[in-house]
Amino acid sequence: MEKPKRKMAASSGGRARRRRSAYAAAEVEEMFRRFAVQRPEPKGELEHVNPFTLLVAVVLSAQATDAGVNKATRALFAAADTPEKMLALGEERVADYIRTIGLWRNKAKNVIALCRALIEEHGSAVPAERDLLTRLPGVGRKTANVVLNVAFGQPTMAVDTHIFRIGNRILLAPGRTPEEVEEGLLRVIPEHYLRHAHHWLILHGRYVCKARKPDCHACVIADICRSPEKTTDVPAPAVPIAPLDPAAVDAAQ
Ligand code: SF4
């Protein structure tokens, strides 16, 4: 999973001042209702077979693409899908499996240290608490949020490069740092959509609201969006809009 670029935040101006979402609550509700119609069961793209392999995959995905990580982990996880098996493989063999991923030397070292910590401190289980996760080698807040959301169903918001861009670009939750965007999104997204919101936003950013040029004519929220970068001539409403007919949303796909 790619990391958000912090320099983007600096250009959004202002000091530690909290910036507001450009949307009324009814508009955010409608945005996420449409994402839910579009992808009722959104899934992450990192392949894994249990919480442990998910944790390893997310650690490996720092500054790498999910597709690149999957290529390497298919064979790695077939050989080792528990902390004990991974530790038994050893750093050199883990490194051999992940040699195609950036920063592989450090990552192999971290994976082995991670396995040792899981075995010694958590009975080989992946903990379901952020504080415990972030104390593990190579595990930061974003990684912990992905694991808590995907493996344990918690309504966390892991801000990657796509979510950071969307939060700022469409002014849904503007912020100078991933933490500010995370906090803003957790505040504005209705609770009943939080479980899947992280995946909806990543997939929206990866396939529609893309970094170089947003694909606004294919966007299901184009009529709500207030981004200055919007490339369609559909104006955003000045007042909260009425919900769309779900059939109309389907037809727009
Ligand atoms: S209308 Fe364009 S800028 Fe707005 S969310 Fe959709 S793709 Fe992104």
Same domain, 195 and 110: no
Distance CA 154, CA 129 (A): 10
Dihedral of CA 148/149/151/153: which sign?
positive
Helix (H, G, I), strand (E, B), or coil: what is residue 215? coil
Is 64 in the same domain as 96?
yes
**What spatial distance separates the first Cα and last Cα of the chain, rounded to whole Å?**
26
Atom 2 of ligand 1, residue of closest alpha carbon: 216
The mean per-residue pLDDT over the stretch 170-182 comes to: 96
- Which of the residues are catalytic? 142, 160
Q: Do 30 and 90 reside in the same domain of the chain?
A: no
Cα of 173 vs its chain's centroid, Å: 15
pTM above 0.85, yes or no: no
Ligand 1 touching residue 162 (CB < 6 A):
no
Assess whether pLDDT exceeds 50 at residue 210.
Answer: yes
Taking the centre of ligand 1 as the mean of its atom positions, its distance from the CA of residue 238, in whole angstroms, is 17
Residues with Cβ within 8 Å of 231's Cβ and at least 6 positions away in sequence, in order, are 213, 214, 216, 217
Q: What is the pLDDT of residue 3?
A: 52
127 shares its domain with 112: yes
Q: For ligand 1, atom 8, which residue shows the shortest CA distance?
A: 209
Phi, psi values for residue 197, rounded to 5° = -55, -40
Q: 3-class SS at 184?
A: helix
The three state secondary structure string of 10-50 is HCCCCCCCCCCCCCCHHHHHHHHHHHHHHCCCCCCCCCCCC
Q: Is residue 57 one of the residues assigned to a domain? A: yes
Look at residues 128, 152, 176 and tell me which one is the last residue of a structural domain.
152
Checking if the pLDDT of 9 tops 70, the result is no
Which residue, 152, 181, 215, sits at the end of a domain?
A: 152
According to the model, what pLDDT value does residue 249 have? 37
Do residues 26 and 67 both lie within one domain? no
If you take atom 4 of ligand 1, which residue's CA is the nearest one?
A: 225
Ligand 1 touching residue 219 (CB < 6 A): yes
| Whole-number pLDDT of residue 2 | 53
Please give the angle made by the CA atoms of 115, 117 and 122, to the nearest 5 degrees: 105
Query: Does 73 lie in the same domain as 24?
Result: no
Assess if residue 10 is contained within a domain.
no
| Cα separations in angstroms, 244 against 39, 220, 229, 251 | 16, 10, 23, 12
Please give the tally of structural domains in the chain: 2
Are 167 and 235 part of one and the same domain?
A: yes
Q: Among 122, 152, 182, where does a domain finish?
A: 152
* Same structural domain, 142 and 91: yes
Contact 162, 206 (CB under 8 A): yes
Residue 32 lies in a domain: yes
Distance, in Å, from the CA atom of 189 to the CA atom of 1, rounded to the nearest integer, reads 22
* Encoded tokens for 48: 């894994």
Distance (Å) of CA 76 to CA 45, 68, 139, 157: 17, 13, 19, 28
User: What is the distance between the alpha carbons of residues 154 and 159, in angstroms, rounded to a whole number?
Assistant: 15
Does some domain include residue 110? yes
67 in a domain, yes or no?
yes
Give yes or no for a contact between 224 and 235, defined as CB atoms under 8 angstroms apart.
no
Query: Does 44 fall in a domain?
Result: no
Report residue 18's pLDDT band, with 50, 70 and 90 as the boundaries. Answer: low
The structure tokens 């009814």 sit at: 26
Of 76-90, 121-135, 220-234, the least confident: 220-234
* Claim to verify: residue 26 and residue 56 sit in the same structural domain: no
Indicate whether 167 and 130 sit together in one domain: no
The rounded distance, in Å, linking the Cα atoms of 158 and 200 is: 12
Do 136 and 168 share a domain, yes or no? no
The predicted-structure confidence for 20-31, as pLDDT tens digits, reads as follows 999 999 999 999
In a domain, 121, yes or no: yes
Identify the DSSP state of 212: S
Domain ranges, residue 175: 20-37+158-252
Per-residue pLDDT of 111-144, as tens digits, reads: 999 999 999 999 999 999 999 999 999 999 999 9
Same domain, 205 and 226: yes
| CATH value at residue 106 | 1.10.340.30
CATH number of domain containing 206: 1.10.1670.10
Largest interatomic CA distance in the chain: 61
pLDDT for the residue 19: 77
Ligand 1 centroid from CA 57, angstroms: 29
